[in-house]
Amino acid sequence: MSATPTSEQLSDLTLRWLTEFESALTAKDAVLLDQLFVEDSYWRDVVSFTWDLRQMVGREGIKDVLLSVADDIAPRDFRLSSTFPGPAITSNAGLDYIEAYIEFDTAQGGGSGFLRLNIDESAPTGVAAWALYTRLETLKGFEPATERPHAYGVHGKGGQENWLDQRTKLQAFEDRDPIVLIAGGGHSGIMAAVALEKLGVEALVVDKNERVGDNWRKRYYSLALHNPTIMSTMPDMPFPETFPEYLPKDKLANWLEAYVDAKDVNFWTSTEFLGGTYDEDRREWTVKVRRGDGTERTMHPKHVIMATGGVGGTPRVPKLTGIDAFEGHVTHSSHFGESAEFAGKKALVVGMGTSAHDLAFNLYNNGADVTMMQRSPTSIVQLDTANMAYATYTDGTPLDQADVKAGADYIYPILVAGLGAYTQMTEEIDKDLHEKLRAAGTKLDIGEDGTGWLMKFLRYGGGYYLNVGASDVIVEGGIKLIQASDVETFVKDGAQLTDGTTLDFDLIVLATGFENQQTEVARYFGQELADKVGEIAGFADDGEVRNSWRPTAQEGLWICIGGFQQNRIYSPQLAIQIRAQLNNLIPASFPRPRTSLESVLS
């Protein structure tokens, strides 16, 4: 096909491929499947075919898994999306290919996906797939409601409970236990609860803070999100157009509080999760929580979701030689409050990530004499440059459509290649800033494989900074820098350097991040169970995020990590997995061992 295909031709080509794909799966025709994929192709599935989050690399690996699940999943009625735009030609790295949003059905529910096709006139269908993304959107028997729920109470009849009476009674859980207990009331815990309630699974969120949103409200004074506001949208409730492009922490905290109220989320504030044990025979947990009045409650939920932090909730406190001798104020960034009280004081911020830069910048702006201590190289980009990575979200693409494409872009080899190219571009754009930062003594890097700040976020949750002003002050000398290797020891007045000089400080802020959530699992359930589950966050060998929104090695234990975008995308699939387990809707042959799949990290 020499001329650029018309929209009708693109639809015909895509539909031809989908028809043959369905035929190959129905007949379990390995030869036809071979013809439908290029040799170096990729497939990412979220629950629809594998009842897990899985990635397959190469035609043979894709074919083997598809043929092994075809009978149980019974995929059928592959079609173009009924809600998103039709197939279109996309160019990347000098190559043209078709991108198409798709829908399909399985024995368990309805799915959606994203397809990338190479135009190949030698292929039986005229195209061959090099990337496929599939995910389960609905569960049979638990489809989304099409009408508003009936009102609480009845108009005009006295003596009946009104809405507030019923909500108060329901949320008290005096006569029952929740089916799912969610430990942690930040954005991830709230989104999980909303997704579960949509499927009729009663969930209770418990959080130690006094108010919903305090996990943001109580953080350092100057905190604001560095991602565009559209990225942080909660399900079903878009932010008003009056909201700023980058949300301040208090505005976000208030919105979470309003969201919980609007969505009728069962939420206990001032409640500490104390931990629990799992009964393998009864397939339920015994957990304890402590309320704000000191009373304890024992519950028996079927599932527990840990949502206690982005990548972890326990502050990481490094062992700094001599720090106990320091007589000034030492605090972790998670406990730091007002910068104004340190006006005229000398402050050392340990770390060079986002929180470190934000705190140093705010201390500087409030009249403190600020020094930063860098412990390892940092990836730094200008804010506008960083947001080029989110073009699908900022170019006017509807949010639900952008989320589907983002899920397709998380195929690990595609992600690495894309972020590598993006990082090379950012290095050129921000070249002047980087030269000035190096001249000021900053050690910079672009990640272990040249994938830059965004892959650092996905792998480690830190190690980068999106410049909103602190870098400019460092370049100008307003914020001073020292390297950790230059510090011999801390003493009562500050830091003694290797050359014998001493830098005096009144305040030391440890902007050193948080421990892996595996630490949280050990804290609440014991080290043996934590070892069984393994590390959390970062990438597993199969290219997916470790132990997040997917089955862990401990039945009934689920973990949510990451930012707003990730939880918005995956909370519905987490809820589907839990609902399906409760109703025995997952075929008995699942889950299949993950070790049967080729690693995609190589």
User: In this structure, are residues 479 and 411 in contact, taking their beta carbons and an 8 Å threshold?
Assistant: no
pLDDT of residue 326: 96
Q: Give 571-583 as a DSSP string.
A: HHHHHHHHHHHHT
Tell me the pairing of strands 346-350 and 507-510: parallel
Q: What was the pLDDT predicted at 596? A: 35
Name the 3-class secondary structure at 190: helix
Comparing CA positions, the residue from 411, 302, 379 lying closest to residue 61 is 411
Does residue 558 lie in a domain region?
yes
Q: Indicate whether 373 pLDDT > 80.
A: yes
Q: Final residue of a domain: which of 87, 120, 139? A: 139
Tell me, what's the pLDDT at 332?
A: 93
Of the candidates 360, 359, 383, the residue with the CA atom closest to the CA atom of residue 371: 360
Is 593 within the bounds of a domain?
Answer: no
Residues 438, 471 within the same domain: yes
Query: Which carries the bigger pLDDT value, residue 18 or residue 312?
Result: 18
What's the pLDDT score for residue 595?
A: 38
* Residue 175 in tokens: 């006569």
Using an 8 Å Cβ cutoff, are 511 and 350 in contact?
yes
The pLDDT tens digits for 239-278 are 999 999 999 999 999 999 999 999 999 999 999 999 999 9
**What is the domain range of residue 70?**
7-139
Give this prediction's pTM.
0.92
Q: 123, 139, 155: which is the final residue of a domain?
A: 139
Q: What is d(CA 383, CA 465) in angstroms, rounded to the nearest whole number? A: 9
**How many CB atoms are closer than 10 A to CB 114?**
23
Q: Give the strand pairing for 203-206 and 267-268.
A: parallel
CATH code, domain carrying 493 = 3.50.50.60
Query: Quick check: 139 and 199 in contact, CB under 8 A?
Result: yes
Which one, of 182, 200, 177, lies nearest residue 192 by Cα?
A: 182
Considering the domain boundaries, does residue 162 fall inside one? no
Q: Does 557 share its domain with 435?
A: no
Q: Chain-centre distance of CA 399, in angstroms?
A: 16
The rounded mean pLDDT for the chain is: 92
One domain for residues 339 and 487: yes
Do residues 76 and 126 both lie within one domain? yes
The pLDDT value given to residue 594: 44
Of 460, 392, 450, nearest to 425 by C-alpha is 450
C-alpha–C-alpha distance, residues 41 and 380, integer Å: 33
Q: Give per-residue pLDDT as tens, 539-585.
A: 998 999 999 999 999 999 999 998 999 999 999 999 999 999 999 99
Q: Would the pLDDT of 592 be above 60?
A: no
572 domain residue, yes or no: yes
Residue 496 and residue 379 share a domain: yes
The predicted pLDDT at position 223 comes to 84
Instruction: Measure the CA–CA gap between 286 and 300, rounded to whole angstroms.
Output: 5
Q: Would you state the pLDDT for residue 573?
A: 96
Question: Per the domain annotation, does 252 fall within a domain?
Answer: yes
Name the domain boundary from 494, 510, 526. Answer: 510
Provide the number of structural domains found in the chain. 3
**Is the per-residue pLDDT at 438 higher than 50?**
yes
Domain shared by 488 and 409, yes or no: yes
In this structure, are 308 and 365 located in the same domain? no
Query: Would you state the pLDDT for residue 155?
Result: 61
b vs e for 486-496, b when ≥16 Cβ sit within 10 Å of the residue's Cβ?
A: bbbebbebbbb
Residue 592 belongs to some domain of the structure: no
Name residue 206's beta-bridge partners. Answer: 183, 268
- Residue 366: the pLDDT is 93
Residues in the chain: 602
Say if residue 389 is in the same domain as residue 407.
yes
516: pLDDT confidence band, cut at 50, 70 and 90? confident
The pLDDT of residue 96: 87
Q: Are residues 275 and 377 in the same domain?
A: no
pLDDT at residue 151, as a whole number: 60
- In this structure, of 314-318, 377-381, 513-517, the range with the lowest mean pLDDT score is 513-517
Q: Tell me, yes or no, whether 280 and 329 share the same domain.
A: no
114 within a domain of the structure (yes/no): yes
CATH number at residue 20: 3.10.450.50
* 128 within some domain: yes
SS3 content of the chain, % helix, strand, coil (to 5): 35, 25, 40
Distance (Å, whole) CA 207 – CA 213: 10
Q: Please, which residues bridge with residue 128 across strands?
A: 118
- Whether residues 114 and 240 share a domain: the answer is no
- What whole-number distance in Å separates Cα of residue 539 and Cα of residue 507? 36
Q: Are residues 121 and 243 in the same domain?
A: no
